[in-house]
Chain A
Amino acid sequence: MGSPATGASTWRLLVVTVIILTALAVLPRFVEIYQTQLLTYGLVFAIAALGFNLLLGYTGLLSFGHSAYFGAGAYAVAFIVRDLGVQSMELCILGGLAATILIAALFGFVCVRHTRIFFGILTLALSQVLWSLAFKFFWVTGGTDGIRVASAKLTLYGGLINFAGPGAFQRFVYAYYYYVLALFAVSTVIMWVIVHSPFGKALQAIRDNEVRARFVGISVQRYRWIAFMISGAFTGLAGILWVPLNGLTTPDILYWPFSGEIVFMSVLGGFRTFTGPIVGAVVFNYLKTYAVASTEYWQLLLGLVLVILVMALPTGIVGTVARMTSKLRGRI
Chain B
Amino acid sequence: MDQKVDRRSFLNQLGVTVGAAAASAVPVIGPAEAQTASAPKGKIPDTPLKMGHMTFLTGPAAVLGEPSLKGHILAAEEINAKGGILGKRKIETITADEAAGTDANVKELRRMKLSEKIDMFTGVISSGNTPALGPVAEELGLLTIFVDGCTDFLWDKAVPNPKFTFRITNIQSADGVTCAVAAAQTWPTAKKIAHIHPDYSYGRNAFDHFTLAYKKLVPGAEVVSEGWPKLGTTDFTAHITKAMSANPDIIMSSVWGGDYVAMYKQALRYGMFNKAKFASTIAFGVAPHAIGKDHPEGVIAGVHSNYYFTYPAGNRWPANKTFVEKYHKRWNEYPNFQSDGAYHTLHMYRTAVEKANKLTGGWPDEEAIISQLEGMYFETAAGYLYIRPDNHQGYKDAVTGFSKNVDAYPFQILDPNRMITIPIRNITAPPGWPKPGSGHNDPTSTFNWIKETWPQVA
Contacts and interface: CB of A to CB of B under 8 A. Distances in A.
Nearest to A248: B132
B272 interface: no
B58 A289 contact: no
Contacts of B101: 252
B135 A289 contact: no
Contact of B108 (A151, A246, A250, A292): A292
Interface string A221-253: 000000000000000000000000011101011
A138 interface: yes
Contact of A293 (B96, B153, B204): B96
A144 B200 contact: yes
Interface in A113-151: 135-136, 138, 143-146, 148, 150-151
B264 to A, nearest CB: 23
A289 B112 CA distance: 11
B251 to A, nearest CB: 22
A32 B108 CA distance: 16
B105 to A, nearest CB: 9
A143 B111 contact: no
Given A169-B139, A246-B106, A292 B100 contact: yes
A11 interface: no
A94 B204 CA distance: 35
B110 interface: yes
Given A169-B140, A247-B106, A292-B108, A148 B158 contact: yes
Contact of A250 (B94, B96, B102): B102
A37 B204 contact: no
| Contact residues of A: prevailing secondary structure | helix
Interface string A11-54: 00000000000000000000011110110010000000000000
Contact of B114 (A34, A152, A247, A292): A34
Interface residues on A, range: 20 to 34
A34 B111 contact: yes
B107 interface: yes
Of B107, B140, B201, chain A has the most CB atoms within 10 Å of the CB of: B107
A195 to B, nearest CB: 30
Nearest to A250: B102
Contact of A144 (B95, B111, B115, B231): B231
B261 interface: no
Interface string A302-320: 0000000000000000000
30 contacts: A32-B115, A34-B110, A34-B111, A34-B114, A37-B114, A135-B199, A135-B230, A136-B199, A143-B200, A145-B128, A148-B131, A148-B135, A246-B106, A247-B139, A248-B135, A250-B102, A250-B103, A250-B132, A252-B103, A253-B103, A289-B107, A289-B111, A292-B96, A292-B104, A292-B108, A293-B94, A293-B96, A296-B58, A296-B95, A298-B100
A279 to B, nearest CB: 20
A323 interface: no
A10 interface: no
A144 B103 CA distance: 11
Given A146-B102, A169-B139, A292-B100, A32 B57 contact: no
Interface string B391-429: 000000000000000000000000000000000000000
A326 interface: no
Contact of A37 (B94, B95, B110, B199): B110
A32 to B, nearest CB: 7
A45 to B, nearest CB: 12
Contacts of A296: 57-58, 95, 97
Contacts of A247: 106, 132, 135-136, 139
B59 to A, nearest CB: 9
Contacts of A289: 104, 107-108, 111
Nearest to A135: B199
B196 to A, nearest CB: 16
A152 B140 CA distance: 13
A252 B96 contact: no
A151 to B, nearest CB: 8
Interface residues on B, range: 20 to 34
Contacts of B200: 143-145
Given A136-B199, A293-B108, A143 B204 contact: yes
A288 interface: yes
Given A33-B114, A143-B204, A292-B107, 4 more contacts: A34-B114, A38-B111, A246-B107, A252-B103
A313 to B, nearest CB: 25
B111 A150 contact: no
A299 interface: yes
Of A32, A152, A169, chain B has the most CB atoms within 10 Å of the CB of: A169
A34 B115 contact: yes
Given A32-B115, A246-B103, A145 B131 contact: yes
B365 to A, nearest CB: 16
Nearest to A37: B110
Nearest to A172: B139
Contacts of A144: 102, 128, 199-201, 231
Contacts of A33: 114
A146 B58 CA distance: 23
Contacts of A148: 131-132, 135, 158
A135 B233 CA distance: 15
Interface string A179-210: 00000000000000000000000000000000
Interface in B103-138: 103-104, 106-108, 110-111, 114-115, 128, 131-132, 135-136
Of B95, B115, B151, B230, chain A has the most CB atoms within 10 Å of the CB of: B115
B431 to A, nearest CB: 24
A239 to B, nearest CB: 12
Contacts of B57: 296
Given A138-B204, A292-B104, A32 B131 contact: no
A252 B204 CA distance: 19
A292 B97 contact: yes
Contacts of B107: 38, 41, 246, 289, 292
A248 B58 CA distance: 24
Contacts of B94: 293
A122 B400 CA distance: 48
B135 A150 contact: yes
A87 B215 CA distance: 43
Contacts of A169: 139-140
A37 B136 CA distance: 14
Nearest to B101: A252
Of B102, B136, B140, chain A has the most CB atoms within 10 Å of the CB of: B102
A32 B111 contact: no
Interface string B173-201: 00000000000000000000000000111
